[in-house]
Amino acid sequence: MSFTGRDPCSLLFLVWLGLAAVFPLRPQEKKDPDNFPLLIGTADGLYGLDLWGDLSPLWQGGEVRKIAAAGNSWALLSSAGIFWSGDLLNWENRSAGLPVKTIKIFQNGEKSFLPMVQEIKDLMIHPGNPDLMVCAVKDTVYLSRDSGRSWTGLGMPPYRSNGIKAAAAAYLPELTVFLSHSIYGIHYLQPDISGARWTELNDGIEKLETTGNPDEVADIAVVQDGGAAAQVYVSQSFRRRIYTLDWGRKRFNLLWSDAEAAFGTVDSLSPAAPEDKAPGLRGLRFVADGMVAEISHREGPGAFRGREDILGIVREIPRHLGLDPLCLVIRSPRRGPAGAADNLINLNELELLFEGGAVRPEAERARDREGLYLPVNRAMEQRTLKPFLDIIAERNLNMAVIDMKDDYGRLRFTPLNPDTARRGRVFRPLDIDAFLAEMKGRGIYTAARIVVFKDPVLAGREGGKYAIWDSQAGKAWAGYYDTRRKKTTDQEREEEKKNSPDIEILPAADPEFEILRTYYDERWVDPYSEEVWDYIADIAVELQNRGFDEIQFDYIRFPTDGVNLENARYRWRDQGMDMESAIVSFLRHIRSRVAAPLSIDIYGANGWYRTGARTGQEVELLAPWVDVICPMYYPSHFEQDFLAQAPAELRPYRIYFQGTQRTSRIGRGQVIVRPYVQAFYLNVAYDRQYYNADYVRRQTEGVRDAGSPGFTYWNNSGRYDDIPIFQPPD
């Protein structure tokens, strides 16, 4: 593809003008593929731009999120794994030994499998030793000493959840590997020392308020030239901070901060070229919200300056090429003694530089929707529906979410598809044709809520064929908890079981006591089951075709409650699959059949932290397959002192303001974040003191101030006396 011969504002002019501002370019007699001054990683591969304005595909095997380089070695962090090259033209897959996840594909009654390298969270080539590489997946760090030909798993500290964000290695002087975890911060390991273990290294890093944990570290960069001592820098994901490591004292010192920013990200740390005025020292470049900047020694130690010249190249050149950059490298066309990676400007996480998201065009109609959950029983008659229509009108809302498959697995409409009717149970169906006509006539956007994997109806079909199985009891699994208590009489036990049939009373080891076993009001189908996926897809397709604007999935997760979770067996699980790959496979199946905007409800904690532990709800993995993510940041559901610093009454605002921004950042702007707002009272310590109309208003103010395009009020009973009146968004 050539872009020469355009008008004075042509790409060629921009390339020469932009690159000349950074590097003094020398004319060349011929194009040398090894000297492309601009490398651009995109969703469909790596491209190189030469000095004549010609764009060449260099690798096209998937999405490229990071380009790592040292010496003459180049490596791509891609959706297909890690690929290595010594010349930018010939690439080798160097993912052998890294974990593989399996995506199950179900089409026309047949299943097939797509093995994929587990999503790689970070990749680094050591700047002074190109043979040394480090990468990380969600729960393990891997080390290679032969440029990725083989990898050794180093594990991670014994956390209770996955959530690795970054990894790096330095010689201090012993080989030292670092990782950052979304919840538990930075740890290090010295793998060449016998008996070495991961050790915490968080002193000096700013903590998430009211917790003992450091707020997430976004990136770790190592500067190490020749035999010089390593400089280690780290930055944070949700606050603008950069730190340097004082290895001797085992603590981090603040290098730079933007204390005025209530929220912000610093990522993509990379060393600048050695500076003439500061021999032996390197500056540090980074990407932050809307800017490329540099910590430079030219104007004194640690001086900060924005790099508008680099920012202009990143924003303008890919746009003229018709590319959406995910990462980018600007390099000198003159080969220096340090090889291909000398004098690089290496930028990743470029979504930070572009306003707005990259959602599907079809999803745009899901933006700016502020509404409420409408209990389906209240929509049966005009008399009971009218109060909700009045609330929507009076509060300037424009959306209603309503159950079409409820928490008990019941279908709340009469399906036209006989397979759907056979597998489900129709219960007090809504006349959805009349309901949707009413909504459309009032300009109200409608979302059909479908409870997915919590489904006692389908779990009981065909002898428990679709249910999660209890390996000990030999029947459909159900979570329970046990309470030890003083022994009761036969009459008392009989009366108790009559009033609460979902309990068992068992003997205890001590004959004076007994065990009261209480089952949760939940029954689950197997999230790995492709037949369950098809059932849900049939429902979603019909509701889309009958006029719903959006399909919303709730309980799109694995069960989390029950002392007997270890007994749960997933009989539909195929080799190589895990929780995350089950959820992704399900969404991939739905996306292949449903064109309407898709939304999913997730736990607030899974939107707050970069982890899908216990549930499979990992935002980074789910974002490419859905259009809207609806985190439930209910203040009542967090620890009661979480973000409750003075003034404590602002806690709901803090949770929703920060949470909304965090989920959007973790999702890389690929999805609309539309939180559920707690419009109900729960009898917990904070709510007993603070719940009122201001409690609800502060949540919605937090969402709006975070720039979120929408929210949904949740009250299971339909009581919305506490919701405020806002003007509709501009």
Q: What is the per-residue pLDDT for 332? A: 65
User: 41-98: per-residue pLDDT in tens?
Assistant: 999 999 999 877 789 999 999 999 999 998 889 999 999 999 999 999 899 999 999 9
Q: Is 349 left (phi over 0), alpha (psi -120 to 50) or beta?
A: left
CA dihedral 452, 457, 459, 465 (to 10 degrees): -120
> Where does the pLDDT of residue 33 fall: very low under 50, low under 70, confident under 90, or very high at 90 and above?
low
**What confidence tier does 28 reach under pLDDT thresholds 50, 70, 90?**
very low
Determine whether 322 is exposed, middle or buried from the number of CB atoms within 10 Å of its CB (0-12, 13-18, 19+). Answer: exposed
Q: Give the three-class secondary structure for 525.
A: strand
Domain ranges of the chain: 11-353, 370-468+525-561+582-714, 480-519
Q: HSE, CB side, 13 Å, CA atoms: give it for residue 138.
A: 25
Torsion sign over Cα 398, 404, 408, 414:
positive
Cα-atom radius of gyration of the chain, to the nearest Å? 28
CATH number, domain 370-468+525-561+582-714, options 1.10.760.10, 3.20.20.80, 3.40.640.10, 3.40.50.1820: 3.20.20.80
* Predicted confidence (pLDDT) at residue 334 exceeds the cutoff of 70: no
Give the span between the Cα atoms of 658 and 487, in whole angstroms.
49
The arrangement of secondary structure in 11-353, i.e. its CATH architecture, is: 7 Propeller (2.130)
The encoded tokens of residue 537 equal: 């897809």
Average predicted confidence (pLDDT) for the chain: 90
Q: What is the mean pLDDT of residues 398-412?
A: 98
Is there a contact between 446 and 548 (Cβ–Cβ < 8 Å)? yes
The confidence band for 226, taking pLDDT boundaries of 50, 70 and 90, is: low
Q: Which of 292, 295, 296, 284 lies closest to 350 in space, CA to CA?
A: 292
The reported pLDDT for the residue numbered 4 is 42
Q: Which of 347, 302, 319 is nearest to 10 (CA)?
A: 319
pLDDT in tens, 457-512: 999 999 999 999 999 999 999 999 999 999 999 999 899 888 888 899 999 999 99
In this predicted model, what pLDDT tens digit does every residue of 144-198 receive, in sequence order? Answer: 999 999 999 999 999 878 999 999 999 999 999 999 999 999 999 999 999 999 9
Q: Do residues 432 and 492 touch, judged by C-beta distance below 8 A? A: no
| Tens-place pLDDT, residues 517-574 | 999 999 999 999 999 999 999 999 999 999 999 999 999 999 999 999 999 999 999 9
* % of the chain residues with pLDDT over 90: 77
| Collapsed DSSP state (helix, strand, coil) of residue 449 | strand
24: number of Cβ within 10 Å: 10
pLDDT of residue 215: 97
pLDDT at 613: 78
Asked if residue 6 has pLDDT above 60, the reply is: no
Phi/psi at 28 (nearest 5 deg)?
A: -125, 150
Query: How far, in Å, CA of 727 to CA of 46, rounded?
Result: 45
End-to-end CA distance of the chain: 41
What pLDDT shows up at residue 309?
Answer: 87
pLDDT(22) > 80: no
Q: If we measure between CA atoms, which residue out of 372, 437, 376 comes closest to residue 398? A: 372
pLDDT at residue 18, as a whole number: 57
The enclosing H or E element of 716 equals none
pTM (global) more than 0.85: yes
pLDDT of residue 319: 82
> What are the DSSP E strand ranges found in 71-109?
73-78, 81-85, 92-93, 100-107
Per-residue model confidence as pLDDT tens digits over 683-709: 999 999 999 999 999 999 999 999 888
Q: Residue 612 has what pLDDT?
A: 82
- Is the model's pLDDT at 1 over the cut of 50? no
